[in-house]
Amino acid sequence: MAEERTRREILGKFAQFPCAAMLLACCGPLASLAQASERRYNAKDHYYGMGIQVDKCIGCGRCVEACKAENDVPREPFYFRTWVERYQIRAGGEVKVDSPDGGIHSFPPTEEDKDVLRSFFVPKLCNHCDNPPCVQVCPVGATFKSQDGVVLVDQDYCIGCRYCIQACPYGARFLDPRTSTADKCTFCYHRITKGLLPACVEACPTGARVFGELKTLASPLRRMMRMSKLAVLKPSLNTEPKVFYSDLDGEVR
Amino acid sequence: MGVSKLPDQVVRLGVLALAAVAATLYARHRFVPATFGELGHYRGAAVGAAANRKIQYAGAAQCAECHDDVAGVKAASYHRTLSCEICHGPAARHAEDPEAQKPVVPRERGAACLYCHEYLPSRPTGFPQIIERLHNPVKPCIGCHNPHDPKPSQVPESCSACHAQIYRIKAVSHHANLSCETCHTVDARHRQEPRAFLPQKPTAREFCGRCHSREAKSPPEIPRIDLTTHGGRYLCWQCHYPHFPES
């Protein structure tokens, strides 16, 4: 974006001179052509993942709201592409997890409870597994891992058999009641292919969500992965999730 | 030895096999979608369909292109990591055509601020939080805090910032014109650390007597009592509420 602005500024300065305006008229279409070609998206050059810094999440639910608005996720009944869970771990080892309306309106206050040892929020979404069980079970090939590592659903080809919803160990999928097809997080595929961030990352006020390239060393995600103690959800299932959590409590599953 | 020499049953089987192959090919062509298998075991066109959805959130960089004044203020504030559209709602249509859509402006109390700043014990330590019920009730947040440049809690200028209920009741009482410091001695540090430096309260009947005893040199319209006989062993504020004495 910075590059673009400087170009704009330069062109703006050019426009101050009448003769330069002629030059601009000739070069304008050329410049936009060049811009289009450098923007052309090649899925093979990318491999996406997400990092979630649990200790930064404040449970405001703005990611849930942004996801629903961006992806036209049904408001009611409460289906979610991403949601936030509140964990409360008591002294006896009892774990209470709640997520009222997916956390979209933040969370109700808890009663003063001296027994709660620790409490925190965990945002969840499709883990975009490298070894996705949902893709394995789809009988028609309507859900698949694209070349850039994003697990997508073919809305026109899905037969709504719900096998993938059952197969997902993270509960990340739902059946859209309007189309009777499976739906889930796409990492906002329409945004990332245009160089934008997923809506939940854009909306996160504390930077708890980090999105970026997994295979490029110079990416915010790789930096976060270098700097943090990483964990994934349910590693024993060998799904190889591409959503990495930092400072994740052992009780989270 | 020509084709005619082939046994009859082999020719018939061959024709049948050819027909089966043709039928399979036709069925494949008919039922398998055009781009299936191009990139893998899925419809190649589905990737494009996923990428061609409409964008709703324009992104903070887009907003800053026109609203650079606000973006500049915000970039140096505690809200620098916040995207504009967290509070103002998705505004991609507004970015394309400013007249087509006006982003929401949450001005009412609790319209946007409390999602993040209402107190929840699960929030990370140190994150600025308030208890909405107790924090200057009824006043809109933006009356005191600029959302584009929020400041951490400032030293309150008057006692009413925290003791609003007392302030309001005193304002309609006969004690309205008395400042808090008339009766309370307040350490200046009380404003920074209210619990560590508690203000002093009057401790003796003689304190009220400075205005209300018969001997007091106060204006004559102030009600007088005889300190030695009035109220017996009780302290003044055990019967009269000093912030609303006529009650």
When pLDDT is averaged across residues A170-196 and rounded to a whole number, the result is 95
Give, for A66, the enclosing helix (H) or strand (E): helix A62-71
pLDDT reported for residue A53: 95
φ/ψ of A69, rounded to 5, equals: -70, -40
pLDDT reported for residue A9: 55
- Using DSSP's 3-state secondary structure scheme, residue A95 falls into strand
Q: Are residues A34 and A110 in the same domain?
A: no
The answer, yes or no, to whether residue A21 has pLDDT greater than 90, is no
- Using DSSP's 3-state secondary structure scheme, residue B60 falls into helix
Q: Count up the domains in chain A and report the number.
A: 2
When pLDDT is averaged across residues B98-122 and rounded to a whole number, the result is 91
Percentage above 90 pLDDT, chain B: 48
- Using DSSP's 3-state secondary structure scheme, residue A14 falls into helix
Record: contact A58-B40, CB cut-off 8 A: no
* Sequence letter at residue B13: L
* Sequence letter at residue A77: P
Can you tell me the distance from the alpha carbon of B172 to that of B169, in angstroms, rounded to the nearest whole number? 6
For residue A173, what are the contacts with CB-CB under 8 A and spacing of at least 6? A126, A134, A164, A165, A182, A183, A184
pLDDT reported for residue B4: 66
Q: Which of B55, B79, B115 to mutate to test the interface with A (most CBs of A within 10 A)?
A: B115
Q: Which of A67, A104, A126, A154 to mutate to test the interface with B (most CBs of B within 10 A)?
A: A154
Give, for A90, the enclosing helix (H) or strand (E): strand A82-90
- CB-nearest to A202 from B57, B114, B121 is B57
- Chain B: closest CA distance from residue A60 (Å): 5
Strand partners, B130: B118
Can you tell me the distance from the alpha carbon of B84 to that of B79, in angstroms, rounded to the nearest whole number? 10
Q: Are residues A108 and A175 in the same domain?
A: yes
The two counts, helices (H) then strands (E), for chain A are 8, 11
Can you tell me the distance from the alpha carbon of A207 to that of B82, in angstroms, rounded to the nearest whole number? 9
Record: contact B120-A59, CB cut-off 8 A: yes
B182-231 pLDDT, tens digit each: 999 988 888 777 878 889 999 888 899 999 998 888 888 899 999 888 88
A195 interfaces chain B, CB cutoff of 8 Å? no
Q: Are residues A196 and A239 in the same domain?
A: yes
Percentage above 70 pLDDT, chain B: 96
Q: Are residues A207 and A95 in the same domain?
A: yes
When pLDDT is averaged across residues B36-41 and rounded to a whole number, the result is 90
Tokens of B176: 């309205």
Domain that holds residue A190: 45-253
Q: Sorting pLDDT into bands at 50, 70 and 90, what band is A253?
A: confident
Can you tell me the distance from the alpha carbon of A229 to that of B77, in angstroms, rounded to the nearest whole number? 30
Q: Model-level pTM greater than 0.90?
A: no
Can you tell me the distance from the alpha carbon of B83 to that of B15, in angstroms, rounded to the nearest whole number? 69
Record: contact B55-A109, CB cut-off 8 A: no
CA of B32: which chain A residue's CA is closest? A140
Residues in B closer than 8 angstroms to A6, CB to CB, are none
pLDDT reported for residue A26: 43
- CB-nearest to A106 from B49, B53, B118 is B118
A101-124 pLDDT, tens digit each: 999 999 998 877 778 889 999 999
Q: Are residues A23 and A142 in the same domain?
A: no
Residues in A closer than 8 angstroms to B121, CB to CB, are 110, 116, 119
Percentage above 70 pLDDT, chain A: 84
Can you tell me the distance from the alpha carbon of B67 to that of B75, in angstroms, rounded to the nearest whole number? 12
Can you tell me the distance from the alpha carbon of B247 to that of B238, in angstroms, rounded to the nearest whole number? 12
Q: Are residues A63 and A162 in the same domain?
A: yes
Residues in A closer than 8 angstroms to B56, CB to CB, are 69-70, 199
Can you tell me the distance from the alpha carbon of B89 to that of B246, in angstroms, rounded to the nearest whole number? 51
* Sequence letter at residue B5: K
CA of A104: which chain B residue's CA is closest? B115
A131-169 pLDDT, tens digit each: 999 999 999 999 999 999 999 999 999 999 999 999 999
CATH number at residue A199: 3.30.70.20
Q: Sorting pLDDT into bands at 50, 70 and 90, what band is B159?
A: confident
Record: contact A107-B122, CB cut-off 8 A: yes
Q: Are residues A87 and A202 in the same domain?
A: yes
Alpha helix locations (H) across A130-219? 133-137, 163-167, 189-192, 199-203
CA of A8: which chain B residue's CA is closest? B65
- Chain A: closest CA distance from residue B21 (Å): 22
Record: contact A191-B115, CB cut-off 8 A: no
Cis peptide before B137 (omega within 30 of 0): no
Q: At what angle do helices A2-14 and A18-39 cross, to 10 degrees?
A: 160
Question: Do A143 and A80 meet the contact criterion of CB atoms below 8 Å apart?
Answer: no
Strand partners, A68: none
Record: contact B120-A106, CB cut-off 8 A: yes
Tokens of A153: 């659903």
Q: Are residues A105 and A27 in the same domain?
A: no
Strand partners, A79: none
Q: Are residues A10 and A66 in the same domain?
A: no
B47-91 pLDDT, tens digit each: 999 999 999 999 999 999 999 999 999 999 999 999 999 999 999
Query: Mean pLDDT in chain A?
Result: 86
- CB-nearest to A189 from B51, B85, B90 is B51
Record: contact B122-A142, CB cut-off 8 A: no
Record: contact B43-A193, CB cut-off 8 A: no
pLDDT reported for residue A110: 83
- Chain B: closest CA distance from residue A219 (Å): 18
State ipTM: 0.79
A226 interfaces chain B, CB cutoff of 8 Å? no
Q: Are residues A35 and A67 in the same domain?
A: no
In the sheet where A243-246 sits, what is the strand order?
Answer: A209-213, A48-53, A243-246, A230-231
Q: Are residues A36 and A50 in the same domain?
A: no
Record: contact A189-B53, CB cut-off 8 A: yes
- Chain A: closest CA distance from residue B127 (Å): 8
Instruction: Tell me the residues of B at the A interface, defined by beta carbons under 8 Å apart.
Output: 33, 36, 39-43, 46-47, 49-57, 59-61, 65, 79, 81-83, 85-86, 89-90, 114-116, 118-124, 127
Query: Mean pLDDT in chain B?
Result: 88
Residues in B closer than 8 angstroms to A61, CB to CB, are 115
Q: Are residues A116 and A220 in the same domain?
A: yes
Record: contact B61-A1, CB cut-off 8 A: yes
